[in-house]
């Protein structure tokens, strides 16, 4: 019996609707928890007095000397130039915490950029597929990675504004997209990985345009800030790597990679008191192998994309580059916003894409379940405006989220390698018996051109 055509569209988006409902339900749980207990539950940060402080700590050093030689910042000077503009200098005479209470302009700017992100997300997905735009837009705009970035006040919020404009078709002018891509790299240097697909697809004009804009923005912001040279950035990055290597709890709290979990297992925490030795040994063996297998799969895709440019869409190649970096070493859970923005561009068709989309939806769920409380004390909640009894610990999400990212990595790699393999498959001309290489297969697998 043939299904009623009028029912096909609702049934097709039913799985995404259910997943979006779960995300909304998790937000309702967070709101309920905050109402009763006065602070945001895990997976939001365990320091209840640190809300927005990624923004205000950086603002403090944007308005005072010593960003690179005292605070040892690892980011290019654009962040400090940007916050010079979006902060009130007189609020930062003493400390960043006093600055948070004084600088209303910073909170306003953060809110405006977040609202701009919500609008851009919905517009982008509406242009791709109107049937799923509201569902995917809601998952992205109100999912855990974006809300976590907002709660932290991280510069990923304005950086994502530029990312959405640079890596979508919302802007028609090529130079404007180059400028926004360059801004993302100057905000978060690891987003340099997002321009690798242009080289693989031999889009040299785009590669040179992005590179030129990136260098010009760096030089301009360096001239204004007067610090943040390449040697300073390199030295501070080494210092930061050594410092975070000892902060294992911070690293695994909201991680994108099992590499941090392996480091935690090999650290000083008495994990054998809670987990059997057999499980620990298996994790030490399996997790690094799985990470390596994911890296190999992505590198195979990149090699295939170089030999058959145009087979894999640009947005998917960008997603593969980002997810490989995230599963190798964690840049922080909020960095998932860039990856998920690209994954939600995939159509709901084919097992590989569907698996990647389901994993992306689950990553947007804001709830978690603590299996082992390890931190419980009275602390001041800035959002709640009162002292609260806060409890955080080892949670299910800390083990699940890196696995979901690996799932996205393997799923998108499988889809891409399948398309590349078809492009290499020889075809026969009927009756002649000669073999010819198949031409690039455009259509669903075609790259997105600007």
DSSP letter assigned to residue 388 = E
Q: So what's the pLDDT on residue 260?
A: 85
Average pLDDT, rounded, for the chain: 88
Mean pLDDT of 119-146: 96
From the list 184, 150, 107, 174, the residue with the least C-alpha distance to 342 is 184
Mean pLDDT of 291-315: 94
pLDDT tens, residue by residue, 312-343: 999 999 999 999 999 998 888 999 999 999 99
Euclidean distance between CA atoms 109 and 86, whole angstroms? 6
Handedness of CA 248, 251, 255, 258 (dihedral sign): negative
Mean pLDDT of 275-301: 85
Euclidean distance between CA atoms 252 and 305, whole angstroms? 33
**Count of alpha carbons within 13 angstroms of residue 389, beta-carbon side:** 2
Euclidean distance between CA atoms 394 and 295, whole angstroms? 27
Residue 252 confidence class, pLDDT cut points 50, 70, 90: confident
Please provide residue 387's backbone torsions phi and psi, each rounded to the nearest 5 degrees.
-80, 135
Give the range with max mean pLDDT: 34-38, 262-266, 271-275, 441-445: 34-38
pLDDT tens, residue by residue, 185-207: 999 999 999 999 999 999 999 99
Mean pLDDT of 26-54: 95
Euclidean distance between CA atoms 185 and 193, whole angstroms? 9
Neighbour tally for 448: CB within 10 Å: 16
Residue 412: is its pLDDT beyond 80? yes
Q: So what's the pLDDT on residue 436?
A: 40
Question: What predicted TM-score, i.e. pTM, was given to this entire model?
Answer: 0.91
Euclidean distance between CA atoms 202 and 302, whole angstroms? 12
Q: Between the CA of residue 254 and those of 47, 100, 398, what are the distances in Å?
A: 13, 24, 6
Please provide residue 373's backbone torsions phi and psi, each rounded to the nearest 5 degrees.
-65, 130
From the list 320, 46, 333, 335, the residue with the least C-alpha distance to 187 is 335
Q: So what's the pLDDT on residue 358?
A: 97
Residue 444: is its pLDDT beyond 80? no
Strands 370-381 and 386-395, sheet pairing: antiparallel
Q: What tokens appear for 264 in the block? A: 């935690």
């Amino acid at each position: 019996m043939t299904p009623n055509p009028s029912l096909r569209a609702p049934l097709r988006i039913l799985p995404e609707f259910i997943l979006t409902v779960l995300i909304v339900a998790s937000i309702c749980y967070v709101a309920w928890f905050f109402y009763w207990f006065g602070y945001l539950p895990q997976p939001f940060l365990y320091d209840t007095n640190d809300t927005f402080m990624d923004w205000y700590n950086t603002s403090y050093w944007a308005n005072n000397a010593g960003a690179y030689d005292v605070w040892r910042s690892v980011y290019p000077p654009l962040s400090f130039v940007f916050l010079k503009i979006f902060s009130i200098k007189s609020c930062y005479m003493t400390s960043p915490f006093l600055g948070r209470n004084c600088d209303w302009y910073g909170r306003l700017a953060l809110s405006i950029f977040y609202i701009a992100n919500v609008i851009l997300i919905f517009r982008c997905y509406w242009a791709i597929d109107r049937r799923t735009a509201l569902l995917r837009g809601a998952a992205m705009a109100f999912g855990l990675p974006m809300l976590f970035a907002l709660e932290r006040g991280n510069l990923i919020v304005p950086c994502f504004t530029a990312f959405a404009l640079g890596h979508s078709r919302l802007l028609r002018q090529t130079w404007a997209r180059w400028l926004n891509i360059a801004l993302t790299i100057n905000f978060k240097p690891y987003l340099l990985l997002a321009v690798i697909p242009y080289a693989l697809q031999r889009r040299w004009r785009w590669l040179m345009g992005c590179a030129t804009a990136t260098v010009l923005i760096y030089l301009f912001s360096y001239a204004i800030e007067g610090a943040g040279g390449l040697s300073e950035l390199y030295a501070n990055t080494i210092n930061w790597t050594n410092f975070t290597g000892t902060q294992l709890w911070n690293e695994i709290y909201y991680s994108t990679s099992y590499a941090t979990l392996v480091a935690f297992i090999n650290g000083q925490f008495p994990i054998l008191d809670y987990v059997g030795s057999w499980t620990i040994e298996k994790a030490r063996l399996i997790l690094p192998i799985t990470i390596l297998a994911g890296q190999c799969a992505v590198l195979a895709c990149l090699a295939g994309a170089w030999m058959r440019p145009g087979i894999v869409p640009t947005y998917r190649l960008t997603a593969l580059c980002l997810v490989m970096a995230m599963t190798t070493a964690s840049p922080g859970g909020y960095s998932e916003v860039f990856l998920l923005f690209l994954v939600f561009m995939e159509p709901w068709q084919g097992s590989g894409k569907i698996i990647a989309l389901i994993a992306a939806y689950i990553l947007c769920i804001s709830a978690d379940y603590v299996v082992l409380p390890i931190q419980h004390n009275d602390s001041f909640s800035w959002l709640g405006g009162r002292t609260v009894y806060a409890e955080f610990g080892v949670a299910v999400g800390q083990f699940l989220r890196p696995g979901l990212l690996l799932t996205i990595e393997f799923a998108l790699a499988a889809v891409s390698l399948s398309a590349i393999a078809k492009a290499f498959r020889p075809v026969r001309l009927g009756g002649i018996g000669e073999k010819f290489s198949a031409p690039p297969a455009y259509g669903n697998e075609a790259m997105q051109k600007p």
